[in-house]
Structure 1
Amino acid sequence: MATVGVVVLSVIALAGFSLAIYAAWLFHDMPDAADLADYRPPTATRVYAWDGTLIGEYSKERRIFVSYDQIPTQVVNAFLAAEDHNFFKHGGVDPMGLLRAMTKDVVNASHGKRLEGGSTITQQVAKNVLLGNEATIGRKMKEAILANRIEESMSKQHILELYLNEIWLGYHSYGVVAAAYNYFGKPLSELDLAQCAYLAALPKGPDNYHPVRNKAKAIARRNFILGEMADLGFVTRAQAEAAMKEDLVVQSAPIRAKYHDADYFVEEVRERGVATFGKKLDEGGYYMRTTLDPKLQTAARVALMKGLENYDRRHGWRGAWGHAEVEDGWQKQALASTPPSERRAWRAARVESAEGAVRVEQADGGGRGVLESADVVWERASAKPLKKGDLVFVEPSATSPGLYNLRQVPLVNGALVAIDPWSGRTLAMVGGYSFSLSNFNRATQANRQPGSSFKPFVYATALENGYTPASQVLDGPISLPGAKAGEVWSPENFEKGYRGMLPLRRGLELSLNTMTVRLAMGVGMPKIVDMAKRAGVVNQMDPVLAMALGAGETTPFKMTAAYSAFVNGGRRINPHLIEVVEDAQGKPVLNADQRECPRCQAAFNGDESPRVPPAGDQIMDPVTAYQITTMLQGVVQRGTAYQASSLGRPIGGKTGTTNDFRSAWFVGFSPDIVVGVFVGFDDNRSLGNNETGAVDAVPIFIDFMQTALKDTPVHDFRPPPNVKFSYATGIREAYRPGTEPKPRPVDALEGVLPGAPLPPNGQPVGAAPAGAPPPQKPPQKKPPADLTGLY
């Protein structure tokens, strides 16, 4: 007996020792429950437009964190009814709940179902935040111990706050706020009783209660929770029964933002945010207010897409994108190709017959009809006319039921940027025809030659270095040494003709190449390069004369921002997309406006209001900036951008077209907005003969500005207070004090523009620089291409 006793005691001792070792191993890395006091789950950064419109989110786990007092009581009660009736009574572990779960597990085990853990909400917080989902006895033991410690260190409300913000609810939703938006498109405060109960059904398994795939089970679980809420006195029986009769209707897919026209802008903001905040951008819960104006952004997208489609249509139908011979099952083949997401009205269709009227049938079963006659003429004029079985994109006519328009995705691309020239706010940015087809942002990433849209910086440099609006430069043939030994460079004007001595204004209005080269030679390319750098057009530029004609490379974003200096009095603004960023606690962490205003926060004491200095560095004399502005108004009134005068507003701007018609530009502006438009193929091939900035880019600018200027007051560009005005060649010009020309004799009429206004005394004034040859008369017959020239 003694031996048996020794053996038993030894076994007990060994078991106790083993259990102690296991416990020591199990709990050696036990997380500290106190860590939860400062814990905050990864939270989505939300991106807003200038007017508060939500335009995007950045997150790995889509979660919107809210404090407990912001969560409606109805939501809290629904989760308590579903998950933990006794939450406010137990100390972390609910013995009665555990007993009920064990009883159910006997039945579940016999049917091969998943066992229930009987976990309280506190235990779920411990598991989700501190432990993970490992299904072991050891984890359950840790969970119970941690739950008790959590209850000792945190309030019940704080525990619920963590639980309701942390929990995975399916549909890309972490936490109840994200789930409310993703499932129902509503803020949490607007959910009705039935919707609150459905969200409370999801912790048991979002896929098990999917609102579409498992709708019947989802409704049954929701209704069970509604019954529990009535039994617990959270709602009346009548309220619960009324909610049970409600259908379960959710959004077809999670939607991060209902505004969808800013994809290029939102992605550019994300890249800049990553550069500033790193990985924290996706989990820090930042509030980010951008500079975007949704009205202008939508107008920009519509104008650019329309302009690119118009170019594409001029160059002909390229043929169907697919073909289906079979009569049955072709729909699946057709629906495999989707149109650009931005063209929501386009539909995949199959040609039923191509003899006479072209009949088409939509692949989605939406109907059938015939193509508009103009589209039939268009496709039959091509080398690939339609035939039966062809798969195409069509758009139902908005005015004539049964009629369809034939559509094709353009191969050409482009960009549009709109900037406030006074603050640098980027009001709109479209980086291509369709973000869904290509997320390459041509506004910020495409380095292209700007062509003659660069010339205003050449003329500004000249005006900063002794030239005046009365100065005249020869427009005539010129030959210069080429880049290689023995080569000769002979730049020509687009129309090949020459006009002799002309004032600076006419050289810019008509975009005369030889005149611009002579001006660059007179000023010196190093000074022009310095101006281009200071204005932000380029970071580096070779000081060669070809650069004066726009042979360097820049982006539409940089070019548009650089033009702002002409409008705002010669200052280089900071073109930005992000205005303000606040962290999850509402503390500002970034502000684009870095100007100091020591007295702005002080109480009013009757003194003069604080004067905040204008933003940006002064890169040119304000008079120079205004001189260029008035000359670029002439480009619109009498020059290559004459179409833009149809806006009936004070407008300036400059067209640009590169060699072989590879890129088409127009950078234009009103007193309050600068807009840059670029059109070109991504592989830099030619756009085609005579596809100039005036033909391709100006119409896009006009379409956009019609919306941008609508319902805005009309006012002119602001001259500097010290500017002097005088007339040169019959046009009122701006001068720096002391540089204005002296009156000439009455008979000095040479160089007066035909039809140009005369000064009040009826006598044109203005003098050429000393030693300059006498001005030549302009040709009697003006070439019509003055308004549609290449440069």
Structure 2
Amino acid sequence: MSRDDATYDDSDLVELTDIESAGKPRRKGFVRRFIAMVGVLVSLLFLGLVGAAAAVLWVFWTYGKGLPDYHQLATYEPPVATRIHASNGALLAEHATEKRVFVPVEAMPPQLVHAFLSAEDKAFYSHFGIDPRALLRAVVTNAMNYGTGRRPIGASTITQQVTKNFLLTNEVSIDRKIKEAILSLRMERAFSKDQILGLYLNEIYLGFGSYGVAAAALNYFDKALDQLTLDEMAYLAALPKAPANYHPIRRPENARARRNWVLAQMVENGFISEAEARRASAQPITVATQTGYDSTKAPFFAEEVRRDIVDKFGEDMLYTGGLSVRTTLDPALQQAARMALERGLEALDRRQGWRGPLASHDGTGDIDAILAGHEAGMLDRHFAAIVTEVTQDEAQIRLRNGRGRIPFNLAFWAYPPRREDGVRPQPLTDLRDALAVGDIVMVQPPDATPDLIRDGFEPLPDDWSLSQRPLVEGAIVALDPHTGRLLAMSGGYNYGDSEFNRAVQALRQPGSAFKPFVYLAALDQGYNPTTRILDAPLVVDQGQGKPKWKPANYTRRFYGPSIMRVGIEKSRNLMTARLAMNLGMEEIQDYARRFGLNDNLPPLLSMSLGAGETTLLRLTAAYGMLVNGGKEITPSLIDRVQDRSGRTIYRHDARDCSGCSAADGWSGQPIPVLDDTRQQLTEPTSAFQMVSMLEGVIKRGTGRRIDKLDLVVAGKTGTTNDNTNGWFIGFTPDLAVGVFVGYDTPRALGKRETGSTVAVPIFGDFIATASAGKPVIPFRRPGGVTIIPVHSETGERVLPDHEKAIFEVFKPGQRPGGTLIDVPGSSARTSDDDEIAIPGLF
């Protein structure tokens, strides 16, 4: 039946409206359920967010309480090394608990900053203190590596590292990490990115005792930051994680791999090209020895400066304050002083005899290492050598850097010291009596031992002088007599062996070097250089129960009436004692105190001959007050101290200089005249008379060994009882120099060794170098004095062309000659001998 033929019952028909009405309830139910589910999810999400917010607030409330105040970093001043400089700016020493040089981030090379950002925190300038991407990456990586034994990676930003280093501890805990994150978020709101980066780069520890990138650049490569190459910058940036793991000497492969990784990161971040990275990666990591000390060796001086800074500012300021200390030291004079003292002590020690080799080599072991061990404590240009062959006339030696020989002419002194009875063995005639094969000895280049070059001997290129470390010690100082500025100081032979500074710490009797101040007291009282004093036997009663004091001249002879000038030139003890008795010991005490020699000189007559103890620096300064016309000076080591900001916080010259600053600059204004605030200690004419008499010491007296230098020099020797201490204090118009020689445990310097044989040569060596190339000027003469030709021995007036004529200095009203000075009560004689006794004087 066809479709057209079909018939339908009306009851079988369904209206469309009925179908639509039947589907509507089902769709409405689905929508309701969907809306309900969305509502639940939104509610859960909202509750989760509220819960999370509440949790975050709880964390911030709980862990944010009691956190360190990060605002203090705004005024943070990191511990910075104090640097001590010579007068010409040469670096002498650094003092720090953390060796750091602070450099603002804007003054750092951009490539260096890029290297650290690539290695530590490449998103530093885009994150808000915490890097979520790095944190997620660390969580995923550490989860994947769990159980593999690999070291977990971190996600700390530079801000977090600053927070940890400055405000928190290194404790490994969730609590610390939460506090670190909170503080980092706060810091990012309070400080700029450059401020945070500057704190980081100046604080981070990079090994080799280096805190901050500037100190690391100096310690690793001996360079300032702006001198670093790309490969060196990358290596420094490789160090923050673990400096010891990338040590350039102990772990060179690790160091190079880490550096190259930093370079790769810089390429990836677009800071450098691949070609630049390849060139830098090919470079070795070479550690350079720091040369910033400018070869100025002044350890005794630098230590005294350190003590002075501690006294003035305290230890905290010294070690953390970043002070810049400009000292008075003249590097050229310091070098000359150090070398003169070294050569003088070695020459004296050689005159005392050969004490034998350093050791004997048995033929085993690394010879170079053995020699290096012996050289470790030696001074510059002193070397260890092994004797390989000996004949009568020479010894063949092996050094670390080659071979050479010791000719007899450079070892003739090597025979044994004196015996206890004072007798010394016969001089050396065969070098085999002093040296044997296998002996390890100290040698020096021949030009370092000028005392051995004699009789026309000319060393060959491979010749060496036999040497030994001297047992005797000494000191030398040089200062400006007009200001007291200490220009050079060496307090001993080798600071590495002994830090005891014999220039300022050794209290010793100056002997005859004290006498000028006895004579100066007399000059101030109207005596003149031609006043005659009796040189005759003298006995002094020192009081009940004490032995009589019987001074004697060094020669053990008596010379009768002699002029004062001869008394000081020839260092006559009897004349000086008689003069002191006339003046009174109270006067001598006053002059000793006035010139800073001894504040509590005992009232004993022996003190007039130099029995009272003083230091070399005090004595040299006192002589400086003679040559400057009698003006008081105080020895000083420091000219100026500046704080870390460059502000001057101490200046030694405290004179008012209000006219020294010109607001509009200098354009021909008169030079400001400063007041001379120095106290006048003695009459300028008396000081000049004393200078003239001390000049005679050089021309005709105990210091004539250096008259051949043709310089304007004056000074005085000093030798104490039993020849235990040798002194020479001398000066030119603008330089005062003091030399002391003696054993730390006092004993005789040697037979016939006095100030003129042990100290004068050192002074002469130094003053010749110090005066080289400088004009020779006379001592400055004050007004009002008269110059009269007199006989150098009798003081009588003579014609200027007389063979014994000298030009003597007289004050107004003074003339040559005068009464004979004896002693109070000189008519008193002891009943049992012909010696003079002075009752009650002691």
Q: TM-score, normalised to structure 1's length?
A: 0.87
Contact 1:502–1:751 (8 Å) recurs in 2: no
Partner residue, 1:658: 720
- The answer to whether the 8 Å contact 1:182/1:256 transfers is no
Q: How far apart, CA to CA, are the structure 2 residues paired with 1:730 and 1:388?
A: 58
- CA distance 1:732–1:493, change in 2 (3 Å): closer
The code of the aligned residue for 2:380 comes to R
Matches of 2:769 and 2:445, distance apart in 1: 25
Deviations 1:396-441 (A, max 9, x none): 6687455433221110000000000111110000000001111111
Match for residue 92 of structure 1? 129
The question of 1:641 aligning with 2:690 is answered no
**Residues 706 and 104 (structure 1), Cα distance of their counterparts in 2 relative to 1, 3 Å cut:** farther
- Describe how 1:225-236 pairs up with structure 2 within 5 A: 225-236=262-273
* Structure 1 residue 193: Cα displacement: 1.4
* 1:487 to 2:532 alignment: no
Deviation, structure 1 residue 732: 13
Unaligned runs of 5+ in 2: 1-51, 418-424, 426-432, 448-458, 809-813, 823-842
- Residues 353 and 415 in structure 2, CA contact (< 8 A), matched pair in contact too: no
The structure 2 residue matched to 1:578, chosen from 635, 638, 643, is 638
Alignment of 1:769-788 (within 5 A): 769-770=818-819
- Once residues 269 and 665 of structure 1 are traced to their aligned partners in structure 2, the CA distance between those partners, rounded to angstroms, is 25
**Partner Cα separation in structure 1 for residue 386 and residue 767 of structure 2:** 38
Instruction: Give the superposition deviation at 1:67.
Output: 1.8
**Are 1:339 and 1:393, in contact at CA under 8 Å, matched by a contact in 2?**
no
Aligned mates of 1:700, 1:516 — CA distance in 2: 27
* Aligned pairs (5 A) from 1:383-782: 385-395=434-444, 400=460, 402-482=462-542, 485=545, 487-601=547-661, 609-729=671-791, 755-757=804-806, 766-770=815-819
Match of 1:264? 300
Provide the C-alpha distance between the structure 1 equivalents of 2:332 and 2:142, rounded to a whole number of angstroms: 58
Preserved CA contact (<8 Å) 1:667 1:677: yes
Contact 1:180 1:191 (C-alpha < 8 Å) held by counterparts: yes
| 8 Å contact from structure 1 (residues 510, 639) kept in 2 | yes
Q: Say whether 1:150 aligns with 2:187.
A: yes
Alignment check: 8 A CA contact 1:730 1:752 kept: no
Letter in 1 for 2:761: P
Counterpart of 1:35 in structure 2 is 72
Q: How many residues align?
A: 737
Closer/same/farther in 2, CA of residues 380 and 662 from structure 1, 3 Å limit? closer
Higher deviation after alignment, 448-457 or 602-611: 602-611
Q: Using the TM superposition, give the Cα deviation of residue 263 of structure 1 relative to its aligned residue in structure 2, in angstroms.
A: 0.7
| Residue in structure 2 matched with residue 776 of structure 1 by the alignment | none
- Return the alpha-carbon distance in structure 2 between the equivalents of residues 49 and 583 of structure 1: 17
**What one-letter code is carried by the residue in structure 2 that aligns with 1:127?**
K
Distance 2:522 2:806 in 1: 26
Indicate conservation of the 8 Å contact 1:394/1:406, yes or no: yes
Residue 637 of structure 1, CA deviation:
1.0
Deviations 1:666-709 (A, max 9, x none): 00111111000000000011111211111011111111112211
Aligned partners of 1:63 and 1:672: how far apart in 2? Answer: 40
Match of 1:322 in 2: 359
Partner of 2:33: none
Residue type matched to 1:388 in 2? V
| CA–CA separation in structure 2 for the residues paired with 1:55 and 1:637 | 38
Question: Which of 75, 93, 97 lines up with 1:56 in the alignment?
Answer: 93
- Check conservation: 2:791, 2:806, Cα contact below 8 A: no
Q: 1:246: how far off?
A: 2.0
After alignment, is 404-413 or 653-662 more displaced?
A: 404-413
**Alignment correspondent of 2:257:** 220
Letter paired with 2:580: A
How far does the alpha carbon of each residue in 1:428-476 deviate from its partner, in whole angstroms, 9 at most, with x for none? 0000000111111111101111111111111111111121223221122
Q: Which amino acid aligns with 2:769?
A: T
Alpha-carbon shift at residue 558 of structure 1 (Å): 0.9
Q: Under a length normalisation based on structure 2, what TM-score does the superposition of the two structures give?
A: 0.82
Give 1:209 shift. Answer: 1.2
Alpha carbons 1:91, 1:148 under 8 Å: kept: yes
Equivalent position amino acid for 1:470 in 2: T
Give the % identical residues: 44
Change (3 A) 1:639 1:549: same
Give the Cα separation in 2 of the matches to 1:397 and 1:582: 45
Deviation at 1:99, TM superposition (A): 2.8
User: Is the contact made by 1:169 and 1:175 (CA closer than 8 Å) also made in structure 2?
Assistant: yes
Equivalent-residue separation in structure 2 for 1:43 and 1:291 (angstroms): 23
Whole-angstrom CA distance in 2 between matches of 1:484 and 1:559: 33
Find the aligned partners of 1:445 and 1:397 in 2 and give their Cα distance: 34
Q: Take 1:297 and 1:535, find their aligned partners in 2: how far apart are those partners?
A: 25
- Give deviations 1:286-338, integer Å, cap 9, x for gaps: 01000000011111111100000000111111012323434345665554444
TM alignment of 1:130-169, pairs within 5 A:
130-169=167-206
Q: Which amino acid aligns with 1:65?
A: F
Please state how far the C-alpha of 1:647 moved relative to its aligned partner: 2.0
Who is 2:157 aligned against? 120
Distance 1:578 1:436 in 2: 24
Question: Partners in 1 of 2:734 and 2:543 — Cα distance?
Answer: 42
Distance (whole Å) between structure 1 residues aligned to residue 56 and residue 124 of structure 2: 32
Partner of 2:310: 274
User: Counterparts of 2:789 and 2:131 in 1: how far apart (Å)?
Assistant: 92
Computing the radius of gyration from Cα coordinates, the structure with the larger value is: 2
CA distance in 2, matches of 1:171, 1:339: 22
Q: Taking structure 1 as reference, are residues 457 and 380 closer, same or farther at Cα in structure 2, changes over 3 Å only?
A: closer
Range with greater deviation from structure 2 (184-193 or 549-558): 184-193
Q: Distance in 2 between matches of 1:326 and 1:552?
A: 54
Who is 1:777 aligned against? none
C-alpha change, 1:374 and 1:334, in structure 2 (3 Å) is: same
Q: Distance in 1 between matches of 2:708 and 2:614?
A: 29
User: Structure 1's 585 and 620: CA in aligned 2 closer, same or farther, altered over 3 A?
Assistant: same
Residue 238 of structure 2 aligns to a residue whose secondary structure is helix
- The C-alpha deviation readout for 1:357-412, integer Å capped at 9, x for no partner, is 433333xx433443222345433566883333333223466874554332211100
Provide the C-alpha distance between the structure 1 equivalents of 2:175 and 2:650, rounded to a whole number of angstroms. Answer: 46
Structure 2 CA distance for partners of 1:273 and 1:612, relative to 1, 3 Å: same
Alpha-carbon spacing, 1:221–1:540, altered in 2? closer, same or farther (3 Å): same
Instruction: Supply the distance in 2 between the matched residues of 1:757 and 1:336 (Cα, whole angstroms).
Output: 58
Matched, 1:366 2:366: no
SS in 1 for 2:442: strand
Any gaps of 5 or more consecutive residues in structure 1?
1-14, 734-743, 760-764, 774-791
Q: 1:582 to 1:731 in 2, by over 3 A?
A: farther
CA contact (8 A) 1:416 1:429 kept: yes
Distance 1:727 1:403, change over 3 A: closer
**Higher mean C-alpha deviation, range 371-380 or range 636-645:** 371-380
- AA aligned to 1:378 is W
Q: Which amino acid letter does the alignment assign opposite residue 229 of structure 1?
A: M
Which residue of the partner structure matches residue 11 of structure 2?
none
Q: Report the Cα offset of residue 621 of structure 1.
A: 1.1
Shift in Å, 1:256: 6.3
Find the counterpart in structure 1 of residue 115 from structure 2: 78
* Secondary structure of the corresponding residue to residue 601 of structure 2: coil
Q: Which of the residues 342, 349, 354 maps onto 1:305?
A: 342
Which of 242, 253, 267 in structure 2 is aligned with 1:205? 242
